[in-house]
């Protein structure tokens, strides 16, 4: 039987999270109709399709294809894999070398023609659309209207033309927000830092742009790019458009901005939108010039220091836990601040969180790796996790097997009734009610067939050595982090085993606790993919048969505290359903 792997992706910009389940469901239905055996599912949630780089699901799919773990990749459509022609071509080339074809419900089996023709058509269409959109917006800006978006201090003017269509691009001053703009510029000109200004506004409950909290970057922005409250020339009645252009970095797939030459800027005077006078504006610019000169001297000193210590900088490892660390007080992210220490971003930039504790990156990484290797899979934790998973999985499997006999008997009866109607029609006996009866029987037949297809095979429901495999693999990955050549791949694999790390202040001065969350579903699926040979064949029916769809199983998590200024771990609770 042909082994097939399913792939699904959704982008958080314009799709709901359930889209992944929808894609996988219709792919499973197609696999069932074609007699294919689904041996694995891969997904990327909330990630753009513009690039496959840094997408863990697609990277794992490629790795497992090269290891010969399946014979075909099935997806809803080619754009679910990627919308970038170069990325699709690269994946197609690697899978073809591995002898694994790509099949989609929309296009069928993907060939060089699909990759080349469809990708070229999409690229030309998007380029033409961008040019027309850019031309239309420029015409609106030439008339003194907005080129898109609404900056702080203004509100949209809603009105209709003679045909009843909305007139776009008109805006007017919002006096309440304009007073806040004037206050920010005055405070800055008087020597108050953007960070203190943001903290004060948040403490007073003054809403920021789009109702969000204030932070220092919202205020100081980027001088050359014209971003931030301090650099928006619309506040002095000067509309500037086309200052920036946006491109996608081919190495990351992320959208980045580039500064256009000043000759390409479209500048229009709009005195009716002026909020601050020239005297205050020039005072702000004068202080910015002094501040920029000071920071330039500091930056030059930093560059000189790095040059003297180039060897240390070359061997300094990349941040392993970025994007996985969250504050236990406000729920916001922790990020590197100052001298290689993690700190609560909300506390630093907005001042609305009381968590002022910081932790050295190396200390946190050491504790987390120890947690994964020594505590997350400690015998008692692993045994309880596997026991709970096996108990629930086996119970569901027993229920489905016990229902199998009755479903088979009913299916035989339904098929007999269908044949009876067909024979009656052949004999010339027909009544309109027979059509409705036939439709109902066919629907029930399809439902029973689907239920029987989901009955687990008579094989072990749980990989007995899952915990041992997990512990062994984590130990190997931890060791690989110390090797420069292996670190990027090892770090990416380790990050997939961590759901999140929550940092919370302890009762003692300078104490901070970290709760490590590792999702059992992720651990088991990853362990199954890592298993090889006979072990992999034993493990396959377990996860594949149940789909880990039961909330008690799919949501099972390990949680452990890592007190970073004490000697050892403290339990944060047992296995959570």
The answer to whether 334 and 322 have CB atoms below 8 angstroms apart is no
Contacts with 213 (C-beta within 8 Å, 6 or more apart), sequence order: 198, 202, 346, 350, 352
Question: In 202-353, where do the E strands start and end?
Answer: 238-241, 244-248, 255-259, 266-269, 325-327, 334-337, 341-344
Mean pLDDT of 333-346: 85
Query: Domain check: are 573 and 472 in the same one?
Result: yes
69 and 93, same domain (yes or no)? yes
Average pLDDT of the chain to the nearest whole number: 75
**209 and 182 both lie in a single domain:** yes
Between β-strands 334-337 and 512-519, what pairing exists: parallel, antiparallel or unpaired?
Answer: unpaired
Among 438, 453, 468, the domain-final residue is 453
Higher pLDDT, 72 or 112: 72
- DSSP category for residue 275: -
Whole-angstrom Cα distance, residue 389 to residue 382? Answer: 11
Cα distances (angstroms) measured from residue 545 to each of 401, 459, 469? 12, 10, 20
- End-of-domain residue from the set 409, 434, 453: 453
Q: 284 and 244 in one domain?
A: yes
Q: What's the mean pLDDT in 67-84?
A: 86
Indicate the pLDDT class of residue 557, thresholds 50, 70 and 90: very low
Same domain membership, residue 560 and residue 501: yes
Provide DSSP, 287-329.
Answer: HHHHHHHHHHHHHHHHHHHHHHTHHHHHHPPPPSSTTSEEETT
The domain total for the chain is: 4
- pLDDT at residue 418 greater than cutoff 50: yes
Q: Can you tell me whether residue 10 is helix, strand or coil?
A: strand
Model confidence at 173: pLDDT above 70: yes
Has residue 60 been placed in a domain?
A: yes
In a domain, 353, yes or no: yes
Q: Provide the token pair at 326.
A: 């969250």
CATH number, position 40: 3.40.50.1390
Among 40-54, 160-174, 369-383, the range of highest mean pLDDT = 160-174
* pLDDT at 382 > cutoff 80: no
| Range of weakest confidence among 279-283, 350-354, 433-437 | 433-437
- Is residue 136 situated within a structural domain? no
* 501 and 381 assigned to the same domain: yes
Report the greatest alpha carbon distance in the chain: 98
Query: What is the pLDDT averaged over residues 182-189?
Result: 93
The pLDDT value given to residue 186: 93
Quick one: 480 and 368 in the same domain? Answer: yes
Task: Decide if pLDDT at 458 tops 60.
Answer: no
In a domain, 131, yes or no: no
More confident residue, 28 or 574: 28
| Residues 6+ positions from 105 with CB-CB distance below 8 Å | 26, 27, 30, 74, 75, 76, 77
Residue-range definition of the domain harbouring residue 73: 3-121
Is 300 among the domain residues? no
- Digit-coded pLDDT (tens) for 527-549: 445 444 333 333 332 332 222 22
Say yes or no to pLDDT of 14 above 70: no
Decide: 495 and 526 in contact? Cβ < 8 Å.
Answer: no
pLDDT of residue 431: 75
The encoded tokens of residue 228 equal 């931030």
Residue 128 lies in a domain: no
Q: Residue 11's pLDDT band (boundaries 50, 70, 90)?
A: low
Which of 103, 121, 139 terminates a domain? The answer is 121
- Under 8 Å between Cβ of 97 and 89: no
Nearest-5° Cα angle at 247, 246 to 252 = 130
Burial class (CB in 10 A: 0-12, 13-18, 19+), 190: exposed
Q: Which helix (H) or strand (E) holds 23?
A: helix 19-34
Alpha helices in 82-118 (DSSP H): 85-97, 112-113
Q: Residue 517 falls within a domain, yes or no?
A: yes
Model confidence at 167: pLDDT above 80: no
Q: How far apart are CA 130 and CA 110, in angstroms?
A: 28
Rounded-to-integer distance, Cα 423 and Cα 260, Å = 76
Same domain as 331, residue 248: no
488 and 561 assigned to the same domain: yes
User: Is residue 159's pLDDT more than 60?
Assistant: yes
CATH number at residue 218: 3.90.1750.20
426 & 469 share domain: no
Residue 530 gets which letter from DSSP? H
Contact 344, 334 (CB under 8 A): yes
- State whether 240 and 339 are in the same domain: no
**447 and 465 assigned to the same domain:** no
Q: Is residue 138 in some structural domain?
A: no
């Amino acid at each position: 039987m042909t082994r097939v792997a399913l792939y699904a992706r959704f982008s958080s910009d314009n799709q709901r999270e359930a889209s992944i389940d929808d894609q996988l469901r219709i792919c499973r239905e197609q696999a069932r109709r074609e007699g294919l055996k689904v041996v694995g599912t891969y997904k990327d949630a909330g990630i753009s399709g513009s690039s496959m780089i840094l997408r863990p699901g697609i990277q794992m799919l490629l790795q497992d294809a090269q290891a010969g773990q399946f014979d075909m990749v099935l997806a809803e459509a080619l754009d679910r894999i990627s919308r970038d022609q170069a990325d699709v071509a690269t994946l197609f080339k690697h899978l073809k070398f591995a002898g694994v074809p790509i099949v989609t419900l929309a296009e069928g089996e993907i060939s060089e023609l699909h990759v080349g023709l469809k990708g070229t058509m999409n690229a030309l269409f998007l380029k033409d659309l961008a040019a027309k959109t850019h031309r239309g917006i420029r015409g609106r800006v030439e008339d003194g209207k907005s080129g898109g978006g609404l900056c702080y201090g203004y509100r949209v003017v809603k009105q209709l033309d003679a045909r009843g269509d909305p007139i776009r691009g008109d805006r007017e001053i919002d006096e309440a927000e304009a007073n806040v703009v004037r206050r920010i510029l005055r405070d800055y000109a008087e020597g108050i830092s953007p960070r203190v200004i943001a903290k004060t506004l948040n403490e007073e409950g003054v809403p920021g742009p789009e109702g969000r909290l204030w932070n220092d970057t919202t205020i100081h922005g980027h001088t050359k790019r014209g971003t931030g409250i301090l650099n928006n020339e619309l506040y002095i009645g000067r509309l500037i458009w086309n200052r920036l252009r946006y491109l996608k970095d081919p190495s990351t797939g992320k959208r980045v901005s580039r500064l256009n030459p000043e000759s390409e800027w479209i500048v229009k005077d709009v005195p009716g939108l002026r909020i601050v006078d020239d005297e205050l504006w020039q005072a702000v610019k004068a202080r910015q010039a002094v501040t920029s000169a000071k920071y330039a001297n500091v930056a030059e000193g930093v560059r000189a220091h790095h040059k003297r210590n180039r060897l240390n900088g070359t061997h300094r490892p990349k941040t392993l836990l970025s994007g996985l660390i969250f504050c236990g007080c406000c729920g916001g992210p922790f990020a590197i601040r100052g001298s290689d220490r993690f700190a609560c971003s909300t506390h630093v930039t907005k001042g609305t969180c009381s968590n002022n504790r910081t932790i050295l990156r190396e200390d946190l990484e050491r504790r987390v790796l120890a947690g994964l290797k020594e505590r997350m899979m400690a015998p008692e934790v692993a045994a309880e996790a596997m026991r709970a998973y096996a108990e629930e999985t086996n119970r569901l499997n027993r229920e489905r097997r016990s229902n199998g006999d009755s479903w088979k008997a009913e299916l035989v009866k339904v098929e007999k009734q269908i044949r009876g109607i067909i024979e009656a029609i052949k004999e010339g006996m027909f009544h309109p009610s027979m059509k409705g009866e036939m439709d109902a029987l066919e629907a029930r037949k399809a439902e029973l067939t689907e239920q029987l297809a989901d009955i687990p095979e008579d094989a072990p429901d749980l990989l007995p050595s899952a915990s041992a495999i997990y512990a062994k693999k984590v130990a190997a990955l931890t060791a690989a982090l110390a090797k420069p050549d292996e670190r990027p791949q090892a770090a990416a694999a380790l990050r997939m085993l961590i759901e999140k790390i929550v940092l919370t202040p302890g009762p003692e001065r300078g104490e901070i606790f970290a709760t490590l969350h590792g999702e059992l579903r992720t651990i088991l699926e990853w362990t199954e993919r890592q298993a090889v040979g006979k072990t992999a064949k034993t493990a396959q029916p377990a996860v594949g048969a149940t789909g880990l769809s039961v909330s008690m199983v799919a949501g099972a998590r390990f949680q452990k505290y890592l007190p970073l200024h004490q000697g050892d771990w403290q339990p944060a609770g047992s296995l959570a359903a």
